[in-house]
Structure 1
C-alpha cells in the first residue's frame, strides 16, 4: 500500500497544493509548491531517480527553487511512494517515461502556473528521463539533469560478466514468477559485487541518507528492470533536445560516470555541462559542499533562461518578470 509522507514546507508563505494525476489509469501523487507573492510563476517538474520516492531528498532542491520565485511540482511514479499501483517498487524506464508525460500534461492544465515556462528536473535515473522527455516535447522551456543516467551500454560495461548473468537470471525469475503472482525482488542498493542495482562505493552510504527520519523504506525493486537498463540510453536522443539543458555531474561519481554525461551535453544544441567535486549522493545532500555548489549552478542557469528575478517581485506587483 502507498505510504503517505507530509510534504508541506514549513517556510512562511509557501502554498502546498496536493494535486494528483492519472497515468495509464493509475493515480500518481503530486504536490505543487507555490512561492509567495508571485502570480503564475514558471514551474519546475521534479521526480526522483532509481527506486526513490519524492520524499527522499527532493524537497531540499524544491525549497530552494521556490525561494527563488519558481513553483515546483514534485510527483511519485506509479507503484512508489504515495502513488497507487501494484506490485510495489516497479522500476521501469518505459513506465517512468509514461508518468513523466502524464505529469507534464497535468501541470500544463494547472491555473496557478505559467504553462509556457515549464522546466523538467531530474536526477540520476530521472536525469535520463527528462532528457528523453524533452527530446519529444518541444514546448519544454528548459531542462536540468543532475548526475544523469544517459547510457545503458556504459552501465553494462561497468558490470562484471558473472554479475550480469546473475542479474539476467533474477530478471527471468521475476518475469516468470509474475505470471503466477509471485514477482521476484532484488536489492536496490548493495555492496560492490553483490546482486543489486546500485553498488558503487558511495551507494551503500549515500542512498539511505536521502530518506527522511522515520520513513519506512524497502531496499528492493522488481528484478525485471535488469533487462531494461542496458537497453535504456537517453543519450541517443540528445541531439533532438532543443531546450536549454543543464547537465551537472560529480567528479567522483561511481554510479553515473561524468564522462558519459559530458558526451550527452556535447550532443545538444543548447547543452551546458558542469563538473562538481563530489560523488553521486553528495550532490543530493544539503549538508554537503557539493550540494551547495550544485544548487548554485542550477539557480544561475534558471535565472539566465527563465528570467525570474525574485528581488524584483513585490507584493504590489506580483507579476513582475512573469
Structure 2
C-alpha cells in the first residue's frame, strides 16, 4: 500500500488529500469525505486503509477551509460548497492514471453521508454510494432541537452574516459542546463522541462561522434521493441523538437501489471497536458487489 499526497482545485481554492493505492494495477477507487466541521484525519484513514487492503484505491480529502486544504475563513461549514468540492474531487480522481476512474464509488459519514447522496444524484460518474449515519434533512434535524436552540442559532447566524457584510472577522460558535452550551452539536454523547475522533496533535479549533446555522435548515439531501441511479448502502443509527433516524429510513425508501441497514448504535459509535468492524465489513462487501 502506498499513500500519496495529492491536491486539486475547487473553485480556485486548493484542496488537499491522500491517495491510498493498493499493490494492483488500475484498482477501482473510492472518494471519501467527512462530516460536519471535521478533518479527513479524524479516524477516516482507518477506513481508507481497510478499503485499500481489500483492493480499492481511496482518495480521502479535506473540504475547502478545513484541514490541509486552503481557504478562509477557517472551518467554514457550507454544505453546498462541500458538495462542489466532492464533485471536483471526482473529476480529479477520474484524471489519475493510477486508478480505474470508470469504477468509482463515494463514501461519506454524518454530514458527508448527506453530501454523497446529493453527489450521487448529480454525477453520472458515481457507480456506488456508501452513506454512513447520514444527515438527510435540515428541516427534520432542526425541528428535533428545542425552539430556544433554534432561535439562538438564528441570532448567531445573523450576527455572522452582518459581520461578513462589514468585512469583519467571523462571529463563531462551537462545533461541539456539552449539553447546556450552544453548539452545532450539544447532545449528551456529542462532546465525548466527536472529540474522540480527533487525531492527537491536530491543529483543530472547536469553532465555526455561525452562518451555518442559517444554512442547515435549507440543506435537504432527501430531496435528491429519487434522482440517484447508482446503488446505495445506507447505514442508519437507531440511537442517533443528532439525526432523526426515521427521516433517514424515509429517505432510503425513495432511492431506487438502496440497501438500508438499521444498527443498534449512536451517531458516533461506528468509528470504533466491534461496530467499526461490523460496518466496514458490510461496506467492503457492498463495494465489491458494485465496483468489481
Could you say which TM-score interval applies, normalised by the shorter chain?
A: over 0.9
Supply the distance in 1 between the matched residues of 2:286 and 2:247 (Cα, whole angstroms): 21
* Cα drift, residue 193 of structure 1: 3.7
* C-alpha contact 1:163 1:193 (8 A) present in aligned 2: no
Using the size of structure 2 for normalisation, the TM-score is 0.97
2:281 to 283, 288, 296: 296
1:41 to 22, 27, 38: 27
Supply the distance in 1 between the matched residues of 2:48 and 2:267 (Cα, whole angstroms): 19
Supply the distance in 2 between the matched residues of 1:153 and 1:239 (Cα, whole angstroms): 18
* C-alpha contact 2:104 2:291 (8 A) present in aligned 1: no
Mapping for residues 209-224 of structure 1, pairs under 5 Å? 209-224=196-211
Query: Normalized per residue, which structure has more strand?
Result: 2
Supply the distance in 1 between the matched residues of 2:45 and 2:223 (Cα, whole angstroms): 30
The one-character-per-residue Cα deviations of 1:53-100 (angstroms, maximum 9, x if unpaired) are 101110111111001000000000111100001110100011111111
Q: Would you say 1:227 and 2:214 are equivalent positions?
A: yes
Matched with 2:163 is 177
Matched length? 291
The one-character-per-residue Cα deviations of 1:139-183 (angstroms, maximum 9, x if unpaired) are 211000000000111111111111111111111111111223221
2:123 to 117, 126, 137: 137
* C-alpha contact 1:276 1:293 (8 A) present in aligned 2: no
SS of equivalent to 2:271: coil
Matched with 2:67 is 81
Supply the distance in 1 between the matched residues of 2:49 and 2:3 (Cα, whole angstroms): 11
Of 255-264 and 215-224, deviating more is 255-264
Supply the distance in 2 between the matched residues of 1:47 and 1:20 (Cα, whole angstroms): 14
Matched with 1:95 is 81
Matched with 1:115 is 101
Runs of 5+ in structure 1 lacking a partner?
A: 1-13, 308-322
Of 141-150 and 213-222, deviating more is 213-222
* C-alpha contact 1:17 1:32 (8 A) present in aligned 2: yes
Supply the distance in 2 between the matched residues of 1:124 and 1:158 (Cα, whole angstroms): 16
* C-alpha contact 2:134 2:248 (8 A) present in aligned 1: yes
Mapping for residues 51-66 of structure 1, pairs under 5 Å? 51-66=37-52
Supply the distance in 1 between the matched residues of 2:245 and 2:279 (Cα, whole angstroms): 14
Matched with 2:149 is 163
Supply the distance in 2 between the matched residues of 1:264 and 1:103 (Cα, whole angstroms): 25
SS of equivalent to 1:119: strand
Supply the distance in 2 between the matched residues of 1:174 and 1:122 (Cα, whole angstroms): 28
* C-alpha contact 1:253 1:279 (8 A) present in aligned 2: yes
* C-alpha contact 1:238 1:264 (8 A) present in aligned 2: yes
SS of equivalent to 1:99: helix
Supply the distance in 2 between the matched residues of 1:193 and 1:96 (Cα, whole angstroms): 29
Using the size of structure 1 for normalisation, the TM-score is 0.88
SS of equivalent to 1:19: strand
* C-alpha contact 2:31 2:90 (8 A) present in aligned 1: yes
* C-alpha contact 1:277 1:290 (8 A) present in aligned 2: no
Of 130-139 and 188-197, deviating more is 188-197
In terms of Rg, which structure is larger? Answer: 1
Matched with 1:126 is 112
